[in-house]
Amino acid sequence: MNQIASAQSLSNVSAEEWALRCDLAALYRLVAHFRMTDFIYTHLSARVPGPEHHFLINRYGVLFHEMRASDLVKIDLDGNIIDQGGDLQTRKVNAAGFTIHSAIHMARPDLLCVMHTHTAAGIAVSAQKRGLLPLSQQSMKFYNRIGYHDYEGVALDLGERDRLVADLGSHKAMILRNHGLLVGGVSIADAFLTMYTLERACQAQLAAMSCGEELIFPPHAVCEHAGEQLNREGNEEHQAMAWQSALRLIENDKPDYRS
């Protein structure tokens, strides 16, 4: 189990929630490790098991590379911070983050984890009219399997939630036009691998387009076949293996993310 201690400063935190906190804190560290951060901005969240529909998100102002399980803030779908002990005045969350993440958690109970990034590659592709192109094996995972949401300004209007959900549809990934990337996963490992793949696809697209050479687009049938291969059900064992490998990249970070 990916935890080394419990947080004495937090009240009413079950062992199951603490384990989830440890994995979500690890996800923040991994986003920092792979240079997918935007200073204190962007956000990752995970739904807490139970009928209350609470979810965990970062305490605003904590850098991703220093995130700990106890830094995560539990909120409800109305944005209220659930009392966990400590100074609630210091446990603020990003308002735009609440809008985006609450939208997905309200509408997609199948997605445990939601990630939103502002990487240079993701923003660049989000500003391209044709969006993500089938130019790499990584991009094939999203062939006809990604949504697009038009830019409406900073996501502070709760009315945007319905449009975010509608544009995501049944997909697990979405490009926010002129903004960045968003993915969801049935687990934290699933979300991590989906975002990692989408980010690499965006990076590869920009590199290929920058060369000035004619681009090769595989036939539709090949793209669809690859998409089916890369989205087959029952890959939990592979995800778990990849997740455990990723955790070794941050195992010796201080302070420990599992604290």
What is the number of alpha carbons within 13 Å of residue 182 lying toward its C-beta? 26
**Closest by alpha carbon to 45, among 150, 193, 149, 185?**
185
CATH assignment of 15-247, among 1.10.1740.110, 2.60.40.1120, 3.40.225.10, 3.30.420.40: 3.40.225.10
Strand partners for 174:
147, 182
**Closest by alpha carbon to 91, among 7, 150, 174, 162?**
7
**Closest by alpha carbon to 47, among 162, 164, 185, 157?**
185
pLDDT in tens, 37-95: 999 999 999 999 888 889 999 999 999 999 999 999 999 998 889 866 555 556 789 88
pTM of the model: 0.92
- Distance, in Å, from the CA atom of 254 to the CA atom of 230, rounded to the nearest integer, reads 35
SS3 18: helix
pLDDT in tens, 129-151: 999 999 999 999 999 999 999 99
